[in-house]
Each structure stands twice: as C-alpha cells, then as structure tokens.
Amino acid sequence: MELSIDGMICDLGTDAIAVPGYDAARTETIDDAREGRSLKIELPVTPRNRPILQFAEDPDSALLFNEAPHRAELTEEGAVLIEGSVRLLAVKGARYEIEIRSGGAGWAEQAARSKFDELGIDWSGKLTPTAIYQSWTDDSPVRFFPVHHDDYEQQNSSSDLLPAERFLAVEDYHPFLHVATLVGTIFSQAGYRVKSRFFESELFQSLYMSGAYASRDTAAAVNRMGFQARRLGPATATGNEFGRVTANPKALANTVGNIVDTATPQAIDVDGEAISGLYNNGNCFSTVDDKICFTPPSEITVGFEYYLKYTTTHRILSRDRLSGFDTIYLGPGAEFGFQLANRYEDLRNQLTNNFLYRVIVFDHQPGNQYRLSLTRGIIQDVIWTTFIARTIVLNSPETGKLSNLKLQIYENAQWVPYTGDWALYNGYIDETGETTVEVKLRTPSEKVSPTSPKYFNQIYFAGAEEGMQLTLHKECSLRPVFQPGPAFGSSIDFADVARHDIQQSELLEALAHLFNLRFYTEEPTRTVWIEPEPDFFGIGEAVDWSRRTDFSQPVVRQQIAPEIHEVRTWRFQEGDGAVTRFDADEETTLGSWSFEVPSYASLQGEKVLRNPLFAPSLNSTGHYLNAPSALLLQVGDRDDAEDDGTNFTPRIVRYVGIKPLPENERWGYPSGQSEYPLIAFLHPGDDDTEPFTLGFEDRDGAQGLHRYYDHQVRREALRERISLRLRIAPHEFEALFAPGTGAPDIRSAFRIDTGEGIVTAALREIDDYDPREASVKCLFERIDEA
C-alpha cells in the first residue's frame, strides 16, 4: 500500500489501513451526497514525512500545513483506493494524524448553501404582451403561461348581447422556469457534468416549475395607508376627434370624470345600495380640487391595481377584430393596448333555410359589385343575390339543402372569386354594436410622498373612432399595491422571477422525490450520474461473482419488510382553491398514491412521504371567453384573504406546446391566433398528446409516477438482503467507483452464491476495505423476480 501527499511518497506505519467502503443509501439525498468518504491515518514522524507535513511536530509550525490545500492518494498495486483533500488533525507524540476526504460532492455542498434565485441564468426582458407571446416558442428558460387565478366569476348583465370580454393582462401570465435548464445550471456552475438518460428524455425536457416574484409582508402598510375605492355609478362619454375619452374631472368634454369616486365604507351608490369592500386607512385617499389622489403619511414605493369594466361602441372591422376603445392609459409607463375580438360567429358553413342573414365585406371599396352563389340541393352555383354595398341583410332560400356558399366580385367584365375578408352573420347583428370589457391592470411601482401625492387625472381610453361612446361601470375599483410584484412594462431578469425562498438543493430533493432519483458523484472526473432508481441499480447484464463468496464467514439472509411501514404514501404539498374543492368533492387526494406491504412483518402504521416543494394542480375551461375551450392552470384560493394574486404554492407542470383552438375561438392580444400554450399537471390526452400525469396515482388513463417506485417497493416488500464476504481485488474495488468504464461498478447487477443457490442482486453496501484481508463484507439486495 502506498500513500502520496501532493505527489510525494510518505512512510506508512505498521497499523492496518481499511479504506471506507460504500453505502447505496448515500445516493438518495443531497445531504448524503455532501458527506462522501473519509479515512483517518496515523503516520510516523520520519525524515521523509517531516517536510511533507511541514514539520508539524514543531510548535512554531503546527498550523502551516492546514493553511494551504493538499491532495492525497492511497493506492494498492497501482489501484487508487481513495483520493481527495487531506488535512492534519493532530500530532500525537511521534505520529501525525491525518484525514483524507473523498467524494463529498462539491455540487451538493454548493446547492445546499446557495439560494434559488442566485442561479446564474442569463435571462432578462420586459414584461410586455409581445414578450409574453414570444416566450411560448423561443428557447428561453423563462416562459410566461396563462393561469386562472381562483375567484368567484362575475355575472354578466342579462341584456348583454355577448358576455363581457375579460382581457388577460400581463398579470394573468405567470413565469415558469425550464426545469432542465435549472438543474443543468446547478451542476455546471459548480464545475460538474451530468450523465443522465432520464434528464435527456422528452418527459424531463418538458418540465417547468412556477416562478415567483419578490414578496414581503405588507400588512403594516395596508393598515396604515391602504384603501379600496369604487365608483358611485356609471358615466358615459363620447370619443373626441382622436377617438379618446379621458377620466379627468377637470376636462370640459369627452370625460367620464374620476376613474373612481369614494373609499368611504358603506357609501351608497346611485342605485341606493351600500358598496361593500370599501376602506380608507389613514384617510390617505381623498379628493383635492375635484381630483382623486393618494397621499401617504410618509414616502413609499407603491403601484396601483385597477379593475376596469366598461362598455364601448364597436364596429366590425374583420372576421377577427372589432374597432372600439382598445387602449387604456393609466400614466407614464402604463399604456395597455389590446384588440377587441370579433366574437360573432361566421355562419358561412351553417346555412339554414328561410333564415335572415347579414353579409359584410370588410375590404369593400366604393363601386365594387358582388355576387353570392350557393349549392341548393343538387344544383350548383345558384345565384342568391348581387349587391354593391359593404353589407346587406337577406333571407336564405326556403327550400333545398343549402351549402357551398361563394362570394364573387365583378372585375374586368367577369365574375371572379373574391379573395378578401368577408363573413356571414345572423341577421340581427349590426355592423355597429356594443362590447363590454373587463380587465385588471397593475401599474409599475413609483415613489409617492406627502409632498408629492399621486393624482389619477391622466387616465384615458383610446383607439376608438370619433363619436363612439364609452360607459364606465360602477364596478370599477382602485387600490394601492405595496408588493414589489410584476407590472406592465417592468424590466426583469432571472432573479426577479425566481424569488422562491428555498435553497437550490431543495429543487433537486423535490425532483428526486417525484422520480425516485439516485445521485452518484465520481469526484476525480467531476461527473454526476443521475437516473431513477429502476434505471440506476442492477442494470445491464449480470456480472458473475458467484465464485467470489468467502464461505469461511457466515452468509446472512434478512427480510426487508420488517424495516418498512405497512403503508407508505407518496403525496404533494397541500393544494389550494380548485384542488381543495376537487379533493372534497371526489373524496380523494389529488396526486397521492399508497403502497401496502403484503407482509405481517412490516412496521405498523403509515409513513407519508410528502414532496418538499410542489403542490398538485388542475386545469379547467371556460375562463377566457375568447377561447372558452382553453385549458388553463388554476392557481390561488378565492377564499384566502391573504392571496394577492401574485404568487402561489410552487407547481410543476409539463409544457405540452401550442395547441389549436376550435373554429371560431381565438387567443386574444397579442397573438390573435386560433391556438394557445398548454401547460398541465395532468392531461387526459387528445389527438396529438398522450394522457399524462405528474401525480403518483394513475388518473385519466395515464400511469402515475408510482412507476418509478414500483420495482423498489415490491422488492422491499417481498425480497431479502444478503450479507456475505466476497474476494475483491484492489483494481476491482477501484473500478466499482467509476461507472461507465465497462468494468463491474456500483450500478451493476451481480450473480452471487449464497450457499443455497445463485441469485441476482444489486450492491447496497461494502464495509471498510483492507486489501490485505482475504475478503470484504458486502450487503446485496435481491432483484431477481422482483
């Protein structure tokens, strides 16, 4: 046996040296990966050792050795038994006591000490609708996906021709972080490379976790200066020559007055009803010279949340879009533009006999002449009508099956197919009408003080045509937001969307829990091997070590069942809102799976193995009226008074990709396309996507994540561990700790002789290894017939 420190050969003493062995349990958690192996050795004080240990026996030099890093290597017959950093522990008379530390994974130590938002991911941008839309298809590690914040849906007026259009503002899109990028960065910034087929799989590459914005306790600020203000009644104004209506009480015309009127509790509106939810702490909301303003008692950084509901006159511009008030200006840096979707159904493919229709030719030019033809029964190209206007109303033929509607235009003395934009609507639909809009907007934070209060008289609505009307409804509200959360136009970087109060190691622990991951670090090559347990141990063709058993020592066979609980349950953090209601209605626990051990030898009771980070999620439809078929992730809890709609319990989802919407459904501004991005925790499947779930249980035809535990729990319930001594040469011991070389290693399956037969097993433990001994004690776990 030979020891070298910093490449210099040392004299060894006469005591036996047993090198630390191996324990598979240390591959299961990040904390265990931090520990590694260590070996203490006592060296004689000799002329050779003294300068290597920097004359540590001299009291004046005792600390010099440990003031610099040193490396040690212990070999036998050229095989490296242990190598790593070395430190001097003590000088005991004529002996030095040193410790060699190996395999304490630096990545695990760094991940445990580093905050999640300190990950060095190079990403930045501005929170705008365009940036949100582009994130769905670019290669960004941060994508903004639509979510539905749990709430009580507001009812529409029975007189509305169409339901109110609830626009998705930037606050309705939440940042989601690419898990593979996060994990890769944890290892790469610590200087390690990962070898993992699982990490390269389609499943793992599709995973995203919800991000988080900065958050702080704002209760004191709310109690001191918070308010909730509402309107007393509706107000109507007409757009000026620029198609603009202001919310300025000092304007002489084209104004709806102040955006809100009062924050006085129990104020009575124009309908004689007391307005609920109003408060005005510190009387910081007031009216000065007819203008509403916010005057805090001390300087503070604050943004404002507006809930706006208004009805705009509209004109049908195209099959996809209406003109009307589609721009809201709330102050510098807070102009929100969108598009009013044309939600009227185009009936060209749904012709009915004796029905009143309206035809609109959107690209009409004066002087154009058009002709409508159709198939009536078996007769093709029957002329329905000719016309020269942008729009006409007409009745369909009374008899015959109607189909194949065509529009032609008269050009160059002949009828040719019309290639422009046109539509066929129900006859009661006019070119002009009214659309009700609902939107919740949050402005960027700004500094407000007693000497520089915030006035709200710069607000206006724009984008309409001159003379169009806007009615501001009494449901409009305004409140200050003291959280430093997202707002339209905010400049953000990765740290801004990753404010989870966790260490980086907690993400790895959560993923290990989901997929039953094992981690093994090969320190000399700075390589980390990671796979789910079924693909980590006992893999490949079994290595025949059946002739290595040392039968001079007893072979012990021990059942595993007495070490485990009779019931083990894998589950997530508590769900919120929609998940809580689902669990109560279905009398279940979403995402949970239990395994019962079929052995009376097991420990009594249930052991719950809860994911340390993630909560389950549900998707639902009907929340975005432009695209009611869109499956949106539900987050938050409508019954939680402290839920501010910014952050929620961390979630893990799969990004399915861009999914098509049914005909006549479109995703609104900024995409305007008949498609949307789908993320889900579980999905029942469709024509393009197989069913899947990230829960542990099987659900909706998809196999749960219990599949990564099935082999292990069945082995533990029914199989045994075998303790015996094997003859292992030094070079074989060295190879065990270097996976992927082709030699037998800790991940291999082994054929071993128990004295009562040859079985296939995975290596669980190796005791301290002394190459001078005839054999070393090993612990195996049977994997055959599991």
HEC string of 446-473? EEEECCECEECCCCEEECCCCCCEEEEC
Q: How confident is the model at residue 625 (pLDDT cuts 50, 70, 90)?
A: confident
Read off the pTM. 0.85
Q: How does pLDDT run across 180-217, given as a tens digit for each residue? A: 999 999 999 999 999 999 999 999 999 999 999 988 78
Upper half-sphere CA count for residue 572 (Cβ side, 13 Å): 29
Q: Tell which of 71, 104, 137 closes a domain.
A: 104
* Residue 769: inside a domain: yes
**pLDDT for 744:** 94
Closest alpha carbon to 22 in 564, 515, 522: 522
| Contact between residue 43 and residue 81 where contact means Cβ atoms under 8 Å apart | no
Using CB atoms within 10 Å of the CB of residue 277, give its burial: 0 to 12 exposed, 13 to 18 middle, 19+ buried: exposed
Residue 151 reports pLDDT greater than 80: no
**pLDDT for 786:** 43
Based on the domain organization, do 329 and 224 belong to the same domain? yes
Mean pLDDT of the chain: 92
CA-CA distance, 115 to 731, in Å (whole number)? 40
Look-up of token digits 């705008």:
128
Q: How does pLDDT run across 453-503, given as a tens digit for each residue? A: 999 999 999 999 999 999 999 999 999 999 877 777 788 999 999 999 999
Based on the domain organization, do 277 and 331 belong to the same domain? yes
Based on the domain organization, do 372 and 263 belong to the same domain? no
Based on the domain organization, do 366 and 244 belong to the same domain? no
Residue 122: CB partners within 8 Å, gap ≥ 6? 494
Q: What share of the chain is helix, strand, coil (3-state, %, to 5)?
A: 15, 40, 45
Upper half-sphere CA count for residue 151 (Cβ side, 13 Å): 11
User: Residue 81 corresponds to which tokens in the numbers above?
Assistant: 């038994």
Strands 142-149 and 632-635: parallel
CA-CA distance, 325 to 344, in Å (whole number)? 18
CATH of the domain at 464: 2.60.120
Based on the domain organization, do 409 and 448 belong to the same domain? no
**pLDDT for 209:** 98
Based on the domain organization, do 252 and 324 belong to the same domain? yes
* Residue 395: inside a domain: yes
Q: How far is CA 717 from CA 24, 304, 562, 756, in A?
A: 18, 58, 9, 21
Give one word for 619, left, alpha or beta, with left for phi > 0 and alpha for psi -120 to 50: beta
Distance, C-alpha 134 to centroid of its chain: 17
- What radius of gyration, in Å, describes the C-alpha atoms of the chain? 36
Based on the domain organization, do 442 and 322 belong to the same domain? yes
User: What is the count of structural domains for the chain?
Assistant: 4
Based on the domain organization, do 371 and 226 belong to the same domain? no
Residue 63: CB partners within 8 Å, gap ≥ 6? none
Based on the domain organization, do 415 and 450 belong to the same domain? no
| Contact between residue 102 and residue 34 where contact means Cβ atoms under 8 Å apart | no
Strands 539-544 and 748-753: parallel
| The residue type at 425 | Y
* Residue 72: inside a domain: yes
| Contact between residue 503 and residue 115 where contact means Cβ atoms under 8 Å apart | yes
End-to-end Cα spacing for the chain: 41
Based on the domain organization, do 367 and 300 belong to the same domain? no
User: Residue 720 corresponds to which tokens in the numbers above?
Assistant: 């045994």
Residue 159 reports pLDDT greater than 50: no
Q: Tell which of 104, 129, 161 closes a domain.
A: 104
User: Residue 340 corresponds to which tokens in the numbers above?
Assistant: 């009013």
Look-up of token digits 């589609």:
326
* Residue 761: inside a domain: yes
Average pLDDT over residues 694-723: 94
* Residue 665: inside a domain: no
Based on the domain organization, do 228 and 316 belong to the same domain? yes
Closest alpha carbon to 593 in 718, 702, 685: 702
Based on the domain organization, do 337 and 360 belong to the same domain? no
User: Residue 218 corresponds to which tokens in the numbers above?
Assistant: 């704002």
Q: How far is CA 408 from CA 348, 361, 369, 397, 756, in A?
A: 14, 11, 9, 19, 90
* Residue 436: inside a domain: yes
- Percent of the chain at pLDDT exceeding 70: 97
CA-CA distance, 702 to 704, in Å (whole number)? 6
Q: How confident is the model at residue 163 (pLDDT cuts 50, 70, 90)?
A: low
Helices 179-188 & 504-515, crossing angle to 10 degrees?
A: 120
Phi/psi for 534 (5° steps) reads: -65, -25
Look-up of token digits 């925790």:
681
452-482 as b/e: b if 16+ CB within 10 A? eebebbebbbbbbbeebbbbbbbbbbbbbbb
H helix runs in 234-368, sequence order: none
Provide the 8-state DSSP code for 769.
Answer: B
Q: How confident is the model at residue 647 (pLDDT cuts 50, 70, 90)?
A: confident
* Residue 316: inside a domain: yes
Q: How does pLDDT run across 332-348, given as a tens digit for each residue? A: 888 888 889 888 999 99
Structural domain range at position 266: 219-342+432-482
* Residue 579: inside a domain: no
**pLDDT for 158:** 43
Q: How does pLDDT run across 540-591, given as a tens digit for each residue? A: 889 999 999 999 999 999 999 999 999 999 999 998 889 999 999 999 999 9
CA-CA distance, 87 to 83, in Å (whole number)? 12
Closest alpha carbon to 342 in 312, 318, 309: 318
Q: Tell which of 403, 426, 449 closes a domain.
A: 426
User: Residue 602 corresponds to which tokens in the numbers above?
Assistant: 């097991």
Using CB atoms within 10 Å of the CB of residue 400, give its burial: 0 to 12 exposed, 13 to 18 middle, 19+ buried: middle
Assess whether the previous peptide bond of 670 is cis (omega < 30° from 0). yes
**pLDDT for 357:** 97
Strand partners, 4: 9, 73
